[in-house]
Structure formats: structure tokens, C-alpha cells
């Protein structure tokens, strides 16, 4: 099965399974708290929600008076020094507290200025409206495009999505409105288009203070994003962090039973209307179970990715009814004012004399998600406790996509080989359903049975006999099995697909590297079943990016005699190439749990062999091995000619 077929199948499965287990209102009420907690955790929000809120330190840098309303130019700190620029539109002559609206901008380069007619109309209708800049296109530029154009695939390893930061900025925007004397904090709504539509989903699910939610042109299924490749047209902020293999409808259902109006264009090139219908239909079923079917609605408008008069006026009408208690039909609510002069962009700019020098907007991607604290283990009980903790958390976050139950291996030996004084076989086995992994085994005829075996993970783009030459010096003492995991050899795809595949696997709740870890584990299972192999004397080997795969597979397997690591990377917290080519070592949220040097240390008492260059970071692993002592040992070998171990030494 080629990788595109695989990804489309897996994404379709996620869409099909979305909310399928929810059969009754009781089911939803029972599951919702856990789902909400998981969603907040995956978006990176839990530590900030559990801690006391830091001061917003709202600073108004200027006021623009207009007929019927005023515009306050302000910024606030959603976290210390994480500055968010915004314009606040306040109706004139207010005598009572007004309802509030947070308006999220789409991907316009001038953000609140481009969309100013929307908050202006809200103010004309009697709402206090806050239009907030994103970190991507605000007055201080952060980044939504980490994997889209910057090669920051290690965002996946960090568990970071800019959607999490924008959602947090939105939570603090609600804080800002709720704290104002002229706003009724019990009557708040959120809306926005495109990227702002996505943000409306994220914040609506995260914060129940949003009493009405209206995403516009920001809705679709994972099935469509992979099959139609609309994924390629979206930046990173349009996707939740999918450790749980959810679709958007799983998150959207968290809004129920609050009023929800989803508006989408029927000829939107990046959101196929069929997928919008499917997503909203799944969410609507939860509303129906809760007896609130009339509170969710899909409005389809003609044309491309954009607003339409009918979507705008319908949203105004809904917010007037639900937040202002005024039953105003859409045609009477009115559309955007077209006869009012819009202020020059410089007039609405917040930072008149430049942004604060201590800002962290431009570096928040490196700071928002705390990384695991790594330290060597000093006792066997401590190591065992930490190892079980790491494995459990990795299975929850990083390797949740592993099939359970696993399909039958169905090992098929295709050919028996003989060459001089050695023999071998070529075989394949089933890793996942529809995925057959090729491998071959070689051994000297003089080698006694059962044979100790080195399982070597072939590297992407390696030359002919590349792995054979690397493992070669061990072949007099060990049988050697060479396997091509996904993205390698017969299971490779062209470089032109690399960017799409690395983003697509993550959206579908896995990565290229974690697929390879699963293939490696299945290889170990298959090899242990082969005739003549000693199942208790297996060594796993990998070079470069495949050393990462070998480390995690060895940790999860737990029964290997040694791990041979050729030039392993120092960390998974490393950027890659913008076009998606090059080493693919990212794994979902792994850096929230551990990193490569600690994984290596947790392999004790398996022998740890560094072949070639060993990064300084692996001193941490060596410290663990040194503290725990025999039978664990660390060896350094310039080449595998210098690794003299024999299988019988491990059988003692």
C-alpha cells in the first residue's frame, strides 16, 4: 500500500469513528469531562489553566473617536511578555453593561485593519467587540508556519501547535472583556473567518464563557484534508494536536449545547462543502442527543472562501438574540456599513513607537510547551519506575496509533539463498493491515543454532549494500536481518511527497518516525518466529535517523540484548528542511515525555553501543549505566569491527 493510500485510509477511519461511540446523552455526559481534559492537555493549555492567571497589564496606546463608537488601541499580556495587539470597539452612550464579542482574524497580513468593518458593525449593534491579532500577522511577528514553510517539524515532537497559543490568547481576550465595567461577562460570543474560523472552534471548545460560537470558512474533516490534499493549503494553526486521533467534530462537540452557527462557502477550495456537512452533521448528532438540535446550524453560502451577506447578517441576528435578548431577523440586523470611511492603517496601529523590547511573541513556539526534565537514574527501582512512566506516557501520546489488536504477521518466505559458506532468506510480513514489510536474513553456515541475530534498520536513500557494509564486521558471529521500514527501500516515496507526508501523518495522529518504530517492533516479532533464530538473543541496529527508531523500538520491546547506534542525533528538538526532505525524527509530543539521551539510558541492562560519533548529550545515558553497573554496559566503537561481542556472551 503506497503512503498516500495509507494516509487517506487512516484519515477516513478517524472521520468515520469520530463520535461514533456516543449513542446517548448519558454517554456524552460521561465522556465529555475526560475529552475536554485531553483536548486542553494536547493543546498545551493545562499548565496555564491550572496556574493562577497572570496580570493582563492592559495598556491603551490611543483612542480613535468615531460617530457612534470609539476604538481603543491596546495590547495585553496573555502570559508575561506575550503581548497581544488588539482594537476594542465600544458603542457610544452606553448606560448598561453590553454583551461582548471576540473577533478572530483570518490570514490577512494586516489583520485587525483588514477586518475592521466587522467589529465596527458589532459596536453599531450595541456590542463591545475586541478584534485580536494573531502571532503570525500581528504587530510583533511570531510564526504559524513552522512546518508549513520553515522546516520546524520538531514542533510535532514538542507537542506544539500555534493553535494552542492562539486559543490561550483568546481565553485571555475573554478575561479582558469580562473584567471591563462596561461588559457583561455572562454574555460573550466568539466568531471569525478562515483562520479565525478555526480559532472560533478552538476557543469555543476550550472556554464555556463563549455562550455563542460562529466559525466561518474554517470547518472540514480529516478525511477530506488528506483525500483532497487541502491539508497542503493550511498553515499549522488550523489543526489541533492529534495525539488522540480525533477529527474536528470530536472537538466541536465540546461546544454543545451552546448555540453554534457554522457558515461555509460552497465553492471553497480549501474546505470541500461535503466535508463541512459531514463535520457539522456529526456535531449536530450530539446536540440532538442533548435535546438541543435547534441550537446548531450550518449555513451554506454561494461562492469561494469568503463571507457572504447572508452569513454575516445571520451571525449578527443570532448574537443579538442569544446575547442581547433582541429577536432581530437577519435582514433587519443589517450588513457591514459600506459608506463609512475606514481609518488609515497607521491610525489603528497599537505600537506607535515600536513594540516592547522584552517581547516573547517571536519565540513563544520554543517556550509554550514545557519539555521533560531529563536526569540520569541512580538506582534500579528508580530506573524501573521512570521507564514504566515513560513507556505509559509514550503509548498515550506518541504511539497511540499502534493497531490494537495487531494484525497477524503472516510471515511469507519468498526465497531461500545460498552464497559460498552462507545462507539466507527473503521474506515479508504484515506490519499494519495492507502494509507488507520486506526483509532478508543472512547467516554463516558454520554458525551454531539457535543463532543470535542483529536486526538492522535500513536507512532512507542508503546506497546498495549500505547496511550490509555497515553490519558486515559482525556477520561471522551473528546472523543479520535487514529490514526496510516505511519510507525506505521498496516502501519509499519520492522527495516530492516528503513535505505532505510529514504533515499528513501528524494530522492523522502519527509521524513517519513512529510508523517506523511500529515496523521495527513488528520486525522483531517476525524474526523471533523464524526457524534457527534465538529469540532471546536479538540486537537492534540503526544509523542516523534510524538510530532514533532503534532507540524507541528497543525501549518498547524491552527484551533486546544490545542496541547498536551509528551516529545518533543528540535530540529530537531539531529543525529539518523546509521541503520536508532529510531526516524525519519527529514523534508526536515525545519531548513532553523524554528525549533520546534518556531513552538510551532507560535501555539498561541492554548493552549500549555507540558506533562512530557520539553526541555529548548521551553522557546522561552513560551516567545511568555507570550508576547501575553490571550487567549493563556502554561501549564505543569507531566501526563495528571494534565490537567483538558474540551471542554466547549474552547467554551467560
User: Are the CB atoms for 133 and 105 separated by under 8 Å?
Assistant: yes
In Å, how far from its chain's centre is CA 574? 16
> In the numeric block, which cell numbers belong to residue 7?
494516509
Domains and their CATH numbers in the chain: 3-366 (3.40.50.1820), 389-650 (3.40.50.1820)
Closest of 523, 529, 527 to residue 553, by C-alpha: 523
User: Are the CB atoms for 622 and 644 separated by under 8 Å?
Assistant: no
Q: For residue range 446-455, what is the model confidence (pLDDT) as tens digits? A: 998 999 999 9
In Å, how far from its chain's centre is CA 207? 21
Closest of 494, 456, 487 to residue 585, by C-alpha: 487
- Higher per-residue pLDDT: 587 or 354: 587
Q: For residue range 548-579, what is the model confidence (pLDDT) as tens digits? A: 999 999 999 999 999 999 999 999 999 999 99
> In the numeric block, which cell numbers belong to residue 125?
449593534
Question: Is a pLDDT exceeding 80 seen at residue 343?
Answer: no
Count CB-CB contacts under 10 A for residue 238: 29
Q: Are strands 533-543 and 451-457 parallel, antiparallel or unpaired?
A: parallel
pLDDT of residue 256: 98
416 phi, psi to nearest 5 deg: -100, 140
Residue 652 pLDDT level (bands cut at 50, 70, 90): low
Closest of 490, 602, 488, 499 to residue 552, by C-alpha: 602
pLDDT of residue 344: 80
Strand pairing partners for 101?
129, 189
Q: Cα–Cα distance between 455 and 370 in angstroms, integer? A: 35
Closest of 244, 290, 90, 258 to residue 180, by C-alpha: 90
Stretch 269-293: mean pLDDT: 97
User: Are the CB atoms for 138 and 351 separated by under 8 Å?
Assistant: no
CA-to-CA separations, 180 to 98, 169, 640, in angstroms, rounded: 10, 17, 69
CA-to-CA separations, 363 to 55, 83, 239, 373, 457, in angstroms, rounded: 20, 12, 20, 20, 36
How long is the chain?
652
> In the numeric block, which cell numbers belong to residue 204?
469555543
Mean pLDDT, the chain, as a whole number?
Answer: 96
**What percentage of the chain has pLDDT greater than the value 90?**
92
Count CB-CB contacts under 10 A for residue 533: 22
CB neighbour list of residue 379: distance below 8 Å, 6 or more residues apart: 627, 628
Sign of the Cα torsion 260, 265, 266, 269 reads negative
Q: Cα–Cα distance between 68 and 413 in angstroms, integer? A: 80
Residue 109 pLDDT level (bands cut at 50, 70, 90): confident
Would you call 648 helix, strand, or coil by DSSP?
A: helix
Q: Cα–Cα distance between 595 and 568 in angstroms, integer? A: 12
Question: Is a pLDDT exceeding 70 seen at residue 603?
Answer: yes
User: Are the CB atoms for 408 and 434 separated by under 8 Å?
Assistant: no
Q: Cα–Cα distance between 619 and 420 in angstroms, integer? A: 43
CA-to-CA separations, 300 to 216, 271, 307, in angstroms, rounded: 10, 12, 10
Q: Cα–Cα distance between 108 and 111 in angstroms, integer? A: 5
- What is the signed CA dihedral for 570, 572, 578, 584, rounded to 10 degrees? 100
User: Residue for cell digits 446548531?
Assistant: 296
Element (H, E) at 394: helix 380-397
Element (H, E) at 216: strand 210-216
Is the full-model pTM beyond 0.85?
Answer: yes
pLDDT of residue 337: 81
Residue 610 pLDDT level (bands cut at 50, 70, 90): very high
CB neighbour list of residue 496: distance below 8 Å, 6 or more residues apart: none
Strand pairing partners for 297?
261
Q: Cα–Cα distance between 612 and 231 in angstroms, integer? A: 39
Stretch 505-530: mean pLDDT: 98
User: Are the CB atoms for 280 and 242 separated by under 8 Å?
Assistant: no
User: Using CB atoms within 10 A of its CB, is residue 415 exposed (0-12), middle (13-18) or buried (19+)?
Assistant: exposed
- Higher per-residue pLDDT: 464 or 524: 524
Stretch 398-416: mean pLDDT: 97
Would you call 64 helix, strand, or coil by DSSP?
A: strand
* Cis, peptide link before residue 445, omega less than 30° from 0: no
Closest of 603, 637, 606 to residue 620, by C-alpha: 603
User: Are the CB atoms for 142 and 361 separated by under 8 Å?
Assistant: yes
Question: Is a pLDDT exceeding 80 seen at residue 338?
Answer: no
Amino acid at each position: 500500500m503506497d503512503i498516500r493510500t495509507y494516509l487517506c485510509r487512516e484519515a477516513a477511519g478517524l472521520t468515520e469513528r469520530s463520535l461514533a461511540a456516543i449513542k446517548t446523552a448519558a454517554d456524552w455526559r460521561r465522556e465529555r469531562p475526560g475529552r475536554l481534559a485531553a483536548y486542553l492537555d494536547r493543546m498545551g493549555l493545562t499548565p496555564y489553566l491550572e496556574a493562577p492567571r497572570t496580570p493582563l497589564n492592559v495598556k491603551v496606546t490611543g483612542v480613535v473617536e468615531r460617530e457612534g463608537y470609539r476604538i481603543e488601541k491596546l495590547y495585553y499580556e496573555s502570559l508575561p511578555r506575550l503581548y497581544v495587539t488588539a482594537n476594542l470597539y465600544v458603542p457610544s452612550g452606553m448606560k448598561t453593561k453590553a454583551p461582548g464579542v471576540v473577533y478572530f482574524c483570518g490570514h490577512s497580513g494586516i489583520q485587525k485593519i483588514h477586518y475592521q468593518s466587522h467589529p465596527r458593525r458589532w459596536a453599531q449593534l450595541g456590542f463591545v467587540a475586541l478584534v485580536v491579532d494573531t502571532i503570525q500577522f500581528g504587530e510583533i511577528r511570531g510564526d504559524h508556519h513552522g512546518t508549513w514553510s520553515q522546516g520546524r517539524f520538531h514542533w510535532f515532537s514538542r507537542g506544539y501547535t500555534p493553535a494552542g497559543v492562539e486559543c490561550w490568547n483568546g481565553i485571555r481576550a475573554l478575561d479582558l472583556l469580562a473584567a471591563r465595567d462596561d461588559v457583561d461577562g455572562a454574555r460573550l460570543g466568539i466568531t471569525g473567518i478562515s483562520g479565525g474560523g478555526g480559532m472560533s472552534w478552538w476557543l469555543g471548545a476550550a472556554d464555556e464563557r463563549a455562550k455563542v460560537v460562529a466559525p466561518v470558512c474554517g470547518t472540514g474533516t480529516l478525511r477530506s484534508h488528506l483525500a483532497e490534499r487541502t491539508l497542503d493549503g493550511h498553515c499549522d494553526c488550523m489543526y489541533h494536536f492529534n495525539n488522540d486521533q480525533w477529527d474536528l467534530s470530536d472537538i466541536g462537540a465540546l461546544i454543545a449545547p451552546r448555540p453554534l452557527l457554522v457558515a461555509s462557502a460552497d465553492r471553497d477550495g480549501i474546505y470541500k462543502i461535503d466535508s463541512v456537512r459531514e463535520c457539522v452533521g456529526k456535531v449536530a448528532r450530539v446536540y440532538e442527543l442533548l435535546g438541543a438540535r435547534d441550537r446548531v446550524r450550518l449555513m451554506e453560502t454561494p461562492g469561494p472562501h469568503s463571507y457572504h451577506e447572508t452569513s454575516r447578517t445571520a451571525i449578527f441576528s443570532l448574537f443579538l438574540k442569544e446575547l442581547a435578548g433582541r429577536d432581530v431577523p437577519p435582514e433587519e440586523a443589517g450588513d457591514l456599513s459600506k459608506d463609512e470611511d475606514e481609518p488609515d492603517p497607521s491610525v489603528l496601529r497599537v505600537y506607535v513607537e515600536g513594540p516592547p523590547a522584552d517581547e516573547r511573541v517571536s519565540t513563544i513556539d520554543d517556550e509554550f510547551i514545557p519539555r521533560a526534565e531529563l536526569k540520569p537514574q541512580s538506582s534500579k527501582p528508580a530506573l524501573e519506575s521512570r521507564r514504566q512512566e515513560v513507556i505509559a506516557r509514550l503509548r498515550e501520546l506518541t504511539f497511540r496509533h499502534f493497531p490494537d489488536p495487531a494484525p497477524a504477521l503472516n510471515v511469507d518466505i519468498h526465497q531461500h539463498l545460498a552464497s559460498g559458506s552462507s545462507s539466507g532468506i527473503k521474506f515479508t510480513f504484515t506490519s499494519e493491515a495492507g502494509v507488507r514489510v520486506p526483509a532478508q536474513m543472512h547467516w554463516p553456515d558454520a554458525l551454531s543454532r539457535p543463532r543470535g541475530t542483529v536486526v538492522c534498520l535500513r536507512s532512507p536513500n542508503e546506497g546498495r549494500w549500505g547496511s550490509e557494509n555497515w553490519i558486515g564486521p559482525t556477520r561471522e558471529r551473528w546472523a543479520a536481518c535487514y529490514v526496510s521500514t516505511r519510507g525506505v527501500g521498496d516502501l519509499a516515496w519520492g522527495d516530492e511527497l516528503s513535505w505532505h507526508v510529514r504533515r499528513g501523518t501528524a494530522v492523522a495522529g502519527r509521524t513517519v518516525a513512529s510508523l517506523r518504530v511500529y515496523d521495527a517492533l513488528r520486525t522483531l516479532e517476525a524474526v523471533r518466529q523464524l526457524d534457527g533464530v534465538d529469540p532471546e538473543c536479538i540486537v537492534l541496529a540503526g544509523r542516523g535517523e534510524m538510530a532514533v527508531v532503534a532507540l524507541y523500538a528497543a525501549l518498547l520491546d524491552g527484551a533486546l540484548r544490545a542496541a547498536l547506534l551509528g551516529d545518533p542525533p543528540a535530540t529530537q528538538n531539531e529543525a529539518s528542511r523546509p521541503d520536508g526532505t532529510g531526516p524525519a525524527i519527529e514523534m508526536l509530543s515525545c519531548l513532553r515525555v523524554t528525549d533520546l539521551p534518556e531513552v538510551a539510558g532507560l535501555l539498561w541492562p541492554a548493552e549500549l553501543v555507540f558506533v562512530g560519533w557520539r553526541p555529548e548529550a548521551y553522557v546522561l545515558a552513560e551516567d545511568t549505566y555507570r550508576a547501575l553497573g553490571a550487567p549493563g554496559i556502554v561501549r564505543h566503537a569507531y566501526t563495528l569491527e571494534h565490537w567483538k561481542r558474540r551471542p554466547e556472551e549474552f547467554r551467560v
